[in-house]
Amino acid sequence: MSPRMSKALRSALLSFRDLVLSAGPLAFLAVGLLVLAYWWLNPTPPKSVTLATGPAQSAYEEFGKRYQRALAAEGIEVRLLPSDGSSANLQLLRDGQADLAFVQGGTAELLPDDPENLVSLGSLFVEPVWVFYRTEAAQRMYARPRLDGLRQLRGMRVNVGSEGSGVPWLMNQLLEANRLEAGAVTMTRLEETPATVAFLAGKLDALVFASAPESLMVQMLLQTPGVQLLDIAQHEAYARRFPFLSPVTLPRGVVDLASNVPARDVRMVASTTSLLARESTHPALLTLFAQRAQQVHSTAGWFNRAREFPNMRNSELPIAKEGERAMNEPVPMLQRYLPFWLANLIERMWLVLGILLAALLPLSRVVPPLYQFRVRSRVFRWYGRLREIEDTVESEPDKAPQMLQALDALEAQVEKVTVPLSYADELYALRNHIHLIRKKLMRP
C-alpha cells in the first residue's frame, strides 16, 4: 500500500472513530430503549398454545383440529387437550391448564372472578340440545311413535352426559321447569361413546347431547332407523325463560335431501358456544384465533346463515378487544402482505418507535457539534504547547535553542495529524503558526 493510500485510510478510520464516539452514546441509548420496549410489549407470541376441546369424535375436537391446522401455517403449535366437555373446559381455564377453550353458554355457573380472569373471542356457533329417543320406547310408554316435549321423558332411562360436559346441569334446569321431580326420570351420566352403544343396544330409552351438527355421533344418530329426534313444541317458551337458550329449527331434509331426513321440521332449543381465553394469554395469539374464527365459523350451517358467526351476541364474559377487532374491522393491511409475526411486530412496536424518534431527534442535534469538537481538538490541543514555547522564549531568551528543538518536535507531531478535508484549513493554520514562531525564534 502506497504512503498516500495509507494516510487516506488512516484519515478515514480516524473520522469514523470520531463519528462513532460522538454518536455512540445516543445510539446506545436508542438501542437500550428499544430493548426495554421490546421486553415490555413482548410482541412475539409463544410458539405453542393449549386449546381445551372435548370428548373424542365431538364437534369441539373437530373444530380444534381446524384451528390446529390453521395456526400451524403461522408456526404456532396448538396442543389439543381432550376433556369431558364444556364445564370441564371452563375449569381447565380457571386452573391454568388451558390457554383457550370452547365453552357452551348455560352449562356451567360463572364464578365472581371469572369476568376478571377470562375473556371471550366471540360466539362461534349454536349447540342445539339433541334429545334422541327410541321409537320403541315412545310406543311402549305413550302408544305413539313421536314425542313433542321434555315432560314426556318421565319414566324413561335417559343419559344426560358426563358431569364435565355441563349437560346434566342444563338438563336439571329444564326438567325442573317441567316439574319433573327427582326420580321421575332415571338419569345416567355416561360419556358419549359408551352411552351411544348402550342406547343402540336398547339399554337406554333416550340420549341427550349438546353439540354442534358437526358431531359424528349426531350425524350418525340422525340417520339411524328406529331413532327419533325429540320435537320440542315449546322451544320459544324455553328461550324466553332461559336467556342462554335460543329457539332453533332443524329444517326438513337438511340432513339428507334425497332421503328426506328429517321427514319434518324439528323444533329445538340451543345455546351458543364461545371461544374463551385466559386474560393473560398473549395478545398475538388471541388475534390469530379471532381471525381464524372468521374463516372456520363463518360458513352457513343447519342453524345459521353465512357470516352470521362469529358474533358478540349472548356473551356471558367481556369480549376481548382482539375478538371485537376481528369481527368489526378488516384484516390489517400489513398482515395482508407480510408474515403474521413481522406484521404483528411492526403493529405493536410502531407507536414506541414513533415516541423514541420524537425523543431522540432533539438529542441528535448534539452529535454534529460533538463530532466537530472531537475533530478540531486534534488540531487545537497543539496550540497549548505552541503558546508554551512562545512564552518561554519571551521570558527566558537564553533558552531559544532548546525551544527551537521543542518546536521541531512539535512540528513533527503535527505532520502526523490527519483531519477531514472540511477541517484542513485549521490544520494548515496551525502549521502556519508554527512557521511564524520559528521565524521569531530564529530572529537575532
Chain segment 330-357, per-residue pLDDT in tens: 877 777 777 776 666 667 666 666 666 6
Question: Per-residue pLDDT for 94 more than 80?
Answer: yes
Indicate the SS3 state at residue 361. Answer: helix
Please tell me which residue, 249 or 372, carries the higher pLDDT value: 249
- Torsion angle of the four alpha carbons 139, 144, 147, 150, in this order, in degrees rounded to the nearest 10: -60
In angstroms, rounded to a whole number, what is the distance separating the alpha carbons of residues 356 and 242?
53
Q: Is the peptide bond before 168 cis (omega within 30 degrees of 0)?
A: no
Give me the sign of the Cα torsion angle 328, 330, 334, 340: positive
- What pTM was estimated for this model as a whole? 0.65
C-alpha cell at 285: 395469539
Give the mean model confidence (pLDDT) for residues 128-132.
93
Cell 318421565: give the residue. 154
In angstroms, rounded to a whole number, what is the distance separating the alpha carbons of residues 152 and 306?
35
C-alpha cell at 2: 502506497
pLDDT tens-digit map of 266-276: 999 998 889 99
Burial of 379 (0-12, 13-18, 19+ CB in 10 A): buried
Identify the H or E element spanning 237: helix 235-241
Backbone φ, ψ for residue 332 (5° rounding): -50, 145
In angstroms, rounded to a whole number, what is the distance separating the alpha carbons of residues 363 and 17?
20
pLDDT band at 233 (very low <50, low <70, confident <90, very high): very high
In angstroms, rounded to a whole number, what is the distance separating the alpha carbons of residues 374 and 368?
10
Give me the sign of the Cα torsion angle 229, 234, 235, 238: negative
CATH level 3 topology of 48-329: D-Maltodextrin-Binding Protein; domain 2 (3.40.190)
In angstroms, rounded to a whole number, what is the distance separating the alpha carbons of residues 298 and 305?
8
Q: What is the pLDDT of residue 149?
A: 92
In angstroms, rounded to a whole number, what is the distance separating the alpha carbons of residues 116 and 111?
10
Question: Per-residue pLDDT for 239 more than 70?
Answer: yes
In angstroms, rounded to a whole number, what is the distance separating the alpha carbons of residues 355 and 273?
41
Give the mean model confidence (pLDDT) for residues 323-336.
82
Q: Nearest CA to 287 among 332, 318, 317?
A: 332
Identify the H or E element spanning 360: helix 340-364
pLDDT band at 231 (very low <50, low <70, confident <90, very high): very high
Backbone φ, ψ for residue 253 (5° rounding): 80, 0
- The helix-helix angle for 3-41 and 340-364 (nearest 10°) equals 120
Q: What is the pLDDT of residue 191?
A: 86
Backbone φ, ψ for residue 289 (5° rounding): -65, -40
In angstroms, rounded to a whole number, what is the distance separating the alpha carbons of residues 286 and 57?
26
Q: Nearest CA to 239 among 297, 180, 314, 168?
A: 314
In angstroms, rounded to a whole number, what is the distance separating the alpha carbons of residues 17 and 26?
15
Q: Start-end ranges of CATH 3.40.190.10 in the chain?
A: 48-329
pLDDT band at 390 (very low <50, low <70, confident <90, very high): confident
Instruction: Label residue 136 left, alpha or beta by phi (over 0 means left) and psi (-120 to 50 means alpha).
Output: alpha
Mean pLDDT of the chain: 83
C-alpha cell at 150: 321434555
In angstroms, rounded to a whole number, what is the distance separating the alpha carbons of residues 364 and 366?
5
Instruction: Label residue 184 left, alpha or beta by phi (over 0 means left) and psi (-120 to 50 means alpha).
Output: alpha
Question: Per-residue pLDDT for 367 more than 70?
Answer: no
C-alpha cell at 346: 411492526
Residue type, 294: Q
Question: Per-residue pLDDT for 208 more than 90?
Answer: yes
Instruction: Label residue 135 left, alpha or beta by phi (over 0 means left) and psi (-120 to 50 means alpha).
Output: alpha
Choose the weakest-confidence range: 75-89, 95-109, 404-418. Answer: 404-418
Q: Nearest CA to 160 among 112, 107, 110?
A: 107
In angstroms, rounded to a whole number, what is the distance separating the alpha carbons of residues 190 and 122?
30
Question: Per-residue pLDDT for 441 more than 80?
Answer: no
pLDDT tens-digit map of 10-55: 555 555 565 555 556 666 666 666 666 556 555 577 889 999 998 8
Q: Which residues pair with 79 in a beta bridge?
A: 50
Indicate the SS3 state at residue 315. Answer: coil
Give me the sign of the Cα torsion angle 248, 234, 271, 265: negative
Q: Nearest CA to 81 among 45, 50, 119?
A: 50
